[in-house]
Structure 1
Amino acid sequence: MRKWLPLTTICIGTLMLLVDVTIVNVALPDMAVNLHTSFSSLQWVVDIYALVLAAFLLGIGSFADRVGHRSMYVAGLSLFAIASAASGFANDATVLIVARGVQGLGGAAMFATTFALLNSSYTGRDRGTAYGVWGAVSGAAAAIGPIAGGLLTEHLSWRWIFFVNLPFAIAAIALCFLVLGTGSRHRAPLDPVGMVTFTVFAAALTYGLIRSNEAGWGDGVVLASFAGSLVMLVAFLACESRVEHPMFDLALLRNRVFAGCLIAGFVLSAAAFAYLTYASIWLQSVRDMSPVEAGLVTLPLAVAAFVTSATVGRLLHGDRSWLAIGLGIGLTGLGGLVVAAQLSGADVTWTALIAGLTVTGVGTGLAAPTLSSTAMSVVPLERGGMAAGAVNTARQLGFALGIAALGTLFAARIQSSLTAHSFPRASDASNEIAGGQAHAVLAQAPIDARATTEHLIHLTSVDGLQLTALVAGVLGVVGGLVAGALIRPAARPSAQEVADDVSPTRHTLPV
């Protein structure tokens, strides 16, 4: 059993960093009350973690080649633990948001070294087994988060969703020095301009989407954020096409399979998980469910993802991976459409989510475990780490931007529904309802109008959630069709053909 201790050590870090993407979902209403947060602050608590994780993943991978993968993994675990403690002790939203950002940086350091550590720890059949176990863990992690968060929030407090990371991080750090080799180091050139431009691009776009909830789409700061994001994206592409050792080699995008994997990774997180943040707010603050009950609502997704990954998913590799990915992403979208179809009327309850979440879970179990391995298999060996890092970056960026974009739709739909019913101060009330403070809106209503107010809160929040599920569903179905078409074997070039496409003057090292 000792030979599997390195895998255990790596999976502990992977489980922690991916669970923390979604574990805060069920704790948001308690955070809103305890910290007196706004809706945009709640979005940032969720978003900043995924955003930092996505923005620094590729860049940190290059730096890890210099300092050593084990050293970087230990540094990531340590930073993650410290930031988790700071998040748990946070006494206002600003401190929590900053700590979550630092936590994302630690998560990026862990995630960026995962494949290198697996490759250095295992060979042959054992390596295939290790990747299979790691894929199952990563595939189910996002679905486990709401359940774990619900249990901790209800029986302890929301702060324990962060404190619980500490013993696991300490155990993983100790195991690192006992069972992981130091590995080799390479003088991998860094790409600071690429790191900065990509980070600013993603941050500006996310900020503009979140700020638009409060200030409106015509706000000058919102427009400036979108303009700045576009400029940074152009600058990033220009930089990566000209620098000798880019953080991300744009020539890889000529590979249809690799491009399809990037699309699939982005859509998977955006379509399957982003709207669940707002479902959790609706379940707790409007339907008065406990954190545990709200977390358990996602159990069908978690179970379906795990069972599918362990049974059908493991059979769809190699030439059949296009089917697993394309069908899987499409099913996550179909699940969202089923949820949207079931959400109708003020009296709808949590049962409306079950069928759609089960379908989404099946899709997640098919697609998630094979994404990175498929991307790595169709690029030159020396770019395998870059390919895997790019897919994981796409997944986290999809979640971050999905949270921001769907949150804008969620709040806007609630506001338009309240306005249509001539509800007073509809703008402020919509942000409070969307931000998990529906009870505060109800408490402010005159006594003789509370029954009507409660009905409108139920009706408009369902309208908002229905729209987010509908948009996520359409995105998933379209994304699945596009990804499947790109990844199909008939369109797959060989690794040698990809190598021929890449400029021979470049010698990019794996990240």
Structure 2
Amino acid sequence: MRTWGPLTAVCLGTFMLLLDVTIVIVALPDIARALDASLTDLQWVVDGYALALAALLLAAGAAADVLGRRRVHVAGVVLFAGASLWCGLASGPGMLLAARGLQGVGAAAMFATTLPLLGSVYQGRQRSAALGVWGAVSGAAAAAGPLAGGLLTEGPGWRWIFFVNLPVSVAAVWLTLRVVPESRGPREMRVDWAGTAAFACFAGATTYGMVRAGSDGWTSAVTAGSFALAALALVSFALVERRVAHPLLDLSLLRKPAFVGVMAGALAFNGVAFGVIPYLSIWMQTVLGMSPVHGGLALLPLTGASVVVAILAGKLLHGVPARLTIGGGLLLIGSGAFSQAVLDADTNWTVLVPGLVLVGIGTGLVAPAIAGAALAAVPAERAGMAGGAVNTARQLGYALGVAVFGTVLTSRMRDTLSHDAAHTLAGGGAGALRGTVPEHVLRAAFTSGLNTASVAAGVTGMIAGGLVLALVRAPRGNGLERPPGSAARPAAEEAAAPEPPAQVDAA
């Protein structure tokens, strides 16, 4: 217990917070029926969590350096557990959305302190072994989410996808307090609260504008106002980061093409790979009538392929520059998205399998390499900042992907429906259309929307892959030219060192 207890405690929290990114996807149709939630509500059930996690990740790491990493980690677990209980007891969409946002706040505190805690405990070979186990647990959490969500939703009910976090949280808190020592960062560190507020406002306003564009249109006052607020917040963020002593992001890093390329790839990665998945799950259960378990199993080609390829990539792709694995992986993800745009009113879910496998292969290539490439693109003293920034970009990309592709889907559905049906869709989502329009009309409209969203995801993936291939270049000997397996280890080991404030390497 004394040797591997800290690793167990940290892995419990990591598994929970990453599981909750995907476990909710399969439960969305049941949540909609139970809470009378619209499609917009369901978008926020997914996005509220990812947005809070992305917006606060860097600030949580900096705060942990000042207040104590174990203290912040335990506080995050407690907050996450309380929010999970609130999610499970939710009586309406508004309550669930608020609770999911609070969950994201707790997850940010947990995630930002995970690797620094491991780095403060383990050294040498033990550190490498601990990071390997942590990486495997992270991958398993993402892969297990849809299936676990299906089993719990079809079994005791959708509320148990949140209640199941409670006993795990109790165990994580007890074990952390018992076996994980306290650690802190440099004494001179300060939390950039102004930058955090500006970035959170930018991320939230952008996502809100994207979601509202799906129901109100791109030219509505609310949509335009949201984007204007987002632009103002982004300018404020840039001004703050230029002035503060300890910025969340050193803007001089954006003058490095390699870093810009990695950040563009990270922003697109999670959004393109997973942004359409919630709507595929809704289509399979709401339109095709599949059970939650069947819906979870239908996504296994993606998650299974990603886990297998991630394991093999580190062993077999020695000598392949990281920019090729990231750029090539994004091109594969984009190709997989294009391959899913083959649905019609009579299609079965099995036609999605080739596209899901391609997305999974691309994910398995990108995920292990992207954090290492970010660290290799910046000076060593900026390693913690680069690692935190790339994971923030991944979570923000997921939130924006769900918002953008949901808007594309609903916009396309409105174009194919009658005026009355389109009004019903805007107010209650696809589920509200059942019984109000003929079944074949609903199927045709939904599949048309999914095809358009998949094409949009494919285009985004192709552009991002091209940017990575064009920008992420480095001479031989730089970490960018290392293969995924060799790049990931030094990157992760430096991430786990106690000095960097917010270095996390998302699976």
Give TM-score, length-normalised by structure 2: 0.90
Match for residue 463 of structure 1? 448
Match for residue 401 of structure 1? 400
Q: Give 1:382 shift.
A: 3.3
C-alpha separation in 2, matches of 1:483 and 1:3: 40
Q: Which amino acid aligns with 2:13?
A: G
Q: Give 1:300 shift.
A: 0.9
Moved over 6 A (4+): 491-495
Aligned pairs for 1:140-159 within 5 A: 140-159=140-159
Cα contact 1:132–1:369 (8 A) shared by 2: no
Cα contact 1:29–1:436 (8 A) shared by 2: no
- DSSP 3-state at the match of 1:158: coil
Q: Which moved more, 1:81-90 or 1:366-375?
A: 366-375
> C-alpha root-mean-square deviation of aligned residues, in Å?
2.1
Match for residue 486 of structure 2? none
Q: Which moved more, 1:350-359 or 1:128-137?
A: 128-137
Cα contact 2:79–2:102 (8 A) shared by 1: yes
Q: Give 1:383 shift.
A: 2.4
CA distance change for structure 1 residues 490 and 391 in 2, over 3 Å: closer, same or farther? Answer: same
Q: Which amino acid aligns with 1:444?
A: T
Aligned pairs for 1:300-319 within 5 A: 300-316=301-317
Match for residue 320 of structure 1? 321
Cα contact 1:313–1:366 (8 A) shared by 2: no
Q: Deviations over 1:39-79 (max 9, x none)?
A: 21111111111011100111111111011111111111111
Cα contact 2:67–2:184 (8 A) shared by 1: no
CA distance change for structure 1 residues 145 and 509 in 2, over 3 Å: closer, same or farther? Answer: closer
Q: Deviations over 1:394-451 (max 9, x none)?
A: 0100011111111100101111011xxxx35032233368x341xx423235xxxxxx
Q: Which moved more, 1:385-394 or 1:9-18?
A: 9-18
Aligned pairs for 1:85-234 within 5 A: 85-187=85-187, 188-234=189-235
Cα contact 1:337–1:356 (8 A) shared by 2: yes
Cα contact 1:335–1:360 (8 A) shared by 2: yes
Q: Does 1:483 align with 2:474?
A: no
CA distance change for structure 1 residues 494 and 424 in 2, over 3 Å: closer, same or farther? Answer: closer
C-alpha separation in 1, matches of 2:376 and 2:132: 15
Q: Which moved more, 1:142-151 or 1:109-118?
A: 142-151
Match for residue 347 of structure 2? 348
Match for residue 494 of structure 2? none
Q: Give 1:277 shift.
A: 0.7
Cα contact 2:383–2:500 (8 A) shared by 1: no
Match for residue 374 of structure 1? 373
Aligned pairs for 1:383-402 within 5 A: 383-402=382-401
Q: Does 1:429 align with 2:424?
A: yes
Q: Give 1:462 shift.
A: 0.5
C-alpha separation in 1, matches of 2:330 and 2:351: 21
Q: Does 1:454 align with 2:445?
A: no
Q: Does 1:294 align with 2:295?
A: yes
Q: Which moved more, 1:346-355 or 1:325-334?
A: 325-334
C-alpha separation in 2, matches of 1:112 and 1:283: 35
Match for residue 241 of structure 1? 242
1:510 to 486, 501, 505: 501
Q: Which moved more, 1:106-115 or 1:140-149?
A: 140-149
Q: Which amino acid aligns with 1:441?
A: L
C-alpha separation in 2, matches of 1:257 and 1:4: 37
Q: Which moved more, 1:365-374 or 1:455-464?
A: 365-374
CA distance change for structure 1 residues 146 and 196 in 2, over 3 Å: closer, same or farther? Answer: same
- DSSP 3-state at the match of 1:490: coil
- DSSP 3-state at the match of 2:322: helix
Q: Give 1:112 shift.
A: 0.9
Query: For structure 2, which runs of at least 5 residues remain unmatched after alignment?
Result: 481-498, 503-507
C-alpha separation in 1, matches of 2:319 and 2:65: 29
CA distance change for structure 1 residues 263 and 385 in 2, over 3 Å: closer, same or farther? Answer: same
C-alpha separation in 1, matches of 2:430 and 2:119: 44
Q: Give 1:92 shift.
A: 0.6
- DSSP 3-state at the match of 2:209: helix
CA distance change for structure 1 residues 261 and 117 in 2, over 3 Å: closer, same or farther? Answer: farther
Identical pairs, percent = 48
Cα contact 2:376–2:478 (8 A) shared by 1: no
Give TM-score, length-normalised by structure 1: 0.90
Match for residue 410 of structure 1? 409
Q: Which amino acid aligns with 1:466?
A: N
Match for residue 484 of structure 2? none
Cα contact 2:421–2:433 (8 A) shared by 1: no
C-alpha separation in 1, matches of 2:136 and 2:263: 19
Q: Give 1:289 shift.
A: 0.4
Aligned pairs for 1:7-18 within 5 A: 7-18=7-18
- DSSP 3-state at the match of 1:311: helix
Q: Which amino acid aligns with 1:297?
A: A
Q: Give 1:509 shift.
A: 6.3
Match for residue 499 of structure 1? none
Q: Does 1:251 align with 2:236?
A: no
Q: Which amino acid aligns with 1:401?
A: L
Q: Give 1:467 shift.
A: 1.0
C-alpha separation in 2, matches of 1:219 and 1:113: 41
C-alpha separation in 1, matches of 2:392 and 2:78: 21
C-alpha separation in 1, matches of 2:274 and 2:49: 15
C-alpha separation in 2, matches of 1:314 and 1:91: 49
